[in-house]
Amino acid sequence: MMADITVEPVTTTLIPGDISMRPQVRATAGSNPLSIPAAGQILFQMLRVWIVGLVVFGYVLGLTYGMLVWLMNGRQWFYTQVMYAIGVPVIGGLFVVYLPWLRYRPVHQALRVWAGGEPIDRARCTMVYERALRMPWWVASGAVMATLIGYCLGSGVVHVIADKPMVEFLKTLPAIPFVGGLLGAFCYFGTTRALHPVVTWCSVQLRHVRPVHPVPLGVKFFTTTCVLAVAALSLLQPTAYTLGQIITEQHLMKYSQLRLLVTAGRVGTLTEDWVTVLTQEGVGAHGYVFAIDPQGNILTPHPRGYTHIAQERFFELNRYLNRANSASGAWVDRVGHHRVVAFARTADPNKMLVSVSFPIDHTIPLRHFARLSWVVVFEVIFLVILFGRYYTRGITTPLAELRQAAQRIAEYGDLSQFVPVSTNDELGELARSFNRMVEELQASKAELEEYTRRLERSTQDLSAVNQEMEDLLRVVSHDLRAPLINIQGFSKRLEPVMRETVAILERVGAAPHEAGLQQQLAGYREQVHGRFTESLRFISKSVEKMDTLLSSLLAVSRVGRKADPVQINDLNEILDDVLATFDHQLKESAIQILRHPLPREVACRRNEINQVLSNIISNAINYMGATDRRFIEVGGAEHADYVECFIRDTGVGIRPEDHERVFQMFTRLQAVDVPGEGVGLAYVKKILRSHGGRIWVESKAGQGSLFVFTLPKSRQT
């Protein structure tokens, strides 16, 4: 069975998304979570645990229990030892070694083929993981079963063959929890330890594993405590009872022998009926005395009607009677019935007196002790259960708190969970480590959220830049193209005029005094002057238009790049400057300003925010339209992380489908003759975005407009 287990472990590399892998580097089992455990080493460790358990608990503890508890003669001990020599390797080997090996064999084979290079599939790895977890329970159950069957079968055989007393057979029963419990617990924890590398490796490969008959840790601690307590009581209580029996036997042997010697002396001197004397000399309620001749015939009436001493079935009678031809003696006979036998020789060589007494007649205090000991046993078990409950609670309660906190973090991502540090042992250190881990996770989460916010802002900035690039392309392809087309068209219009002018000049040079040429030249001069003047005027306007557009583009591109630093400013003061600039226009247009307090401490670039308010209020003035209600309302509010400002007017309004377009460059939606190129709101949007804020509009056509913008409270660089 050990010939096919010499294999070497190899390291495997996990492929993401799959559990198929091939060996890469050889390693020692258990040295790396990704190392395949050595099948031979694991099997050797388990066999060592099982065999050591059988030897220590089956032989050593079993025989110790027998020597301390059982009261048997040599023949009974001989057969008992024979049953030990046969039963432990046969029954114990079957239930503790062979059957567990059959259950473990698929695990062993899987480890061997994986170490040989076969890919690891998830189904087989799950099988190995589940069998490895169940293996300790199987071995522990087999150990208890082997103890139960072995002790009952062995004691029964000794009882039949060697006439073992039934009371000694009953004393076998406490050996079952004593030996079976300790052997089962030893095999359980030893097998668990031996298979730990297998379970660890499989759990790493499977990542997410289902629970296999989960047993609470408190149950394991509680069961172990009860097993140890019951095992100790199973040894101590029968041992104490047996010690009382031995003391009673020794006392009864001396008393019976002494009394029989006195009786033998009286029988030799009395003239009355000596048979009557013998019937009165029995020790105890069931004891009796009789006389035998040298041939073993019983000379006096026997209470059971025996006529020969062989009918008593004393164990090795001749060995005791003929011991150095002693005049008297006593021994304990434990064959069939537990009794004390004493003999004494009389002066008449044809008579020998034999006294038979039963320890049970003298063990009333011992029986009383047995009853009290059972009370004590149950009290001790109760106290162990009570103590074990609170002992296990002291261990499992902190672990339960830790498990619940970890579960809430895993399921809900709640990093506000902290475990109370209620002990000063390893559990307390575990709680402290968990709390430190939560703090690190909180810090990492905060950093991740901040990074995410920065990434979102960068994404928004990138989208805005892309939009600006689209606007720039539109401007270049459309708005800048129109002046260029005008320049091109009027330039081409000047070409024929110049050719005609050159031709006339050549004619004048060739024939300066030609008749009518001067009149023709004067008329043509007026015509060329008008055409040149008109064309140059349109070219100049187109160049001016291009210059204006390019200046606007340049101004927008420079937002956030100026030397103006971000400082704490009072928006009310900035608004005062803006309204002072528009005071004349507001009075001329009969527009009323409604002011509400604005935030006073805002991190911003003063000049750029001044431009924001100026552009929005300028648009409100320019697009007020013909209405009786003419006012502009300005206000703001503070929030946790940002401030919010609004500017409401009673102007012509904006259609909902144009709310986004108004912030595009060179976009003019209203058919109102006002100066400008449609860059103001795009300029405002970029300024606010460079501050980390945003702007939007709420409006309907003919119902005025509400512009709202935000600025962060924190300083933006």
HEC string of 594-632? EECCCCCCEEECHHHHHHHHHHHHHHHHHCCCCCCCCEE
Give the domain ranges of the chain: 36-211, 248-366, 480-557, 567-712
Give yes or no on whether 248-366 and 567-712 have one common fold. no
| CATH C-level class of 567-712 | alpha beta
Q: Which two tokens stand for residue 1?
A: 């069975």
So what's the pLDDT on residue 75?
82
Q: How many CB atoms lie within 10 A of CB 392?
A: 20
Q: Which two tokens stand for residue 669?
A: 């939606």
Mean pLDDT for the stretch of residues 653-676 = 71
So what's the pLDDT on residue 511?
63
So what's the pLDDT on residue 103?
93
Least confident of 66-80, 327-341, 523-537: 523-537
Helices (H) and strands (E) in the chain, counts: 20, 13
Mean pLDDT for the stretch of residues 87-96 = 92
* Confidence grade of residue 175 (pLDDT, cut at 50, 70, 90): confident
H runs (alpha helix) in 270-316: 274-279
Mean pLDDT for the stretch of residues 239-261 = 87
More confident site: 143 or 410 = 143
The pLDDT mean for the chain works out to 79
Mean pLDDT for the stretch of residues 624-629 = 81
More confident site: 427 or 365 = 365
**pLDDT beyond 50 at 29:** no
Q: Determine the CATH number of domain 248-366.
A: 3.30.450.20
So what's the pLDDT on residue 512?
62
Mean pLDDT for the stretch of residues 99-123 = 91
Question: Bridge-partner residues for 695, per DSSP?
Answer: 709
Residue 687 and residue 559 in contact, taking contact as beta carbons nearer than 8 Å: yes
CA gyration radius for the chain?
A: 56
So what's the pLDDT on residue 267?
73
H runs (alpha helix) in 116-165: 122-161
**pLDDT beyond 90 at 534:** no
So what's the pLDDT on residue 7?
35
Q: pLDDT tens digits, residue range 251-309?
A: 999 999 898 888 887 776 554 577 778 888 888 888 999 988 888 899 888 888 999 99
Among 34-43, 262-271, 458-467, name the most confident range: 34-43
So what's the pLDDT on residue 194?
92
More confident site: 267 or 22 = 267
Backbone angles phi, psi at 603, to 5 degrees: -80, 115
Question: Bridge-partner residues for 634, per DSSP?
Answer: 595, 647
Q: pLDDT tens digits, residue range 117-146?
A: 888 888 899 899 889 989 999 999 999 999
How far apart (Å, rounded) are the C-alpha atoms in residues 121 and 127? 10
Nearest Cα neighbor of 707 from 647, 663, 641, 621 is: 647
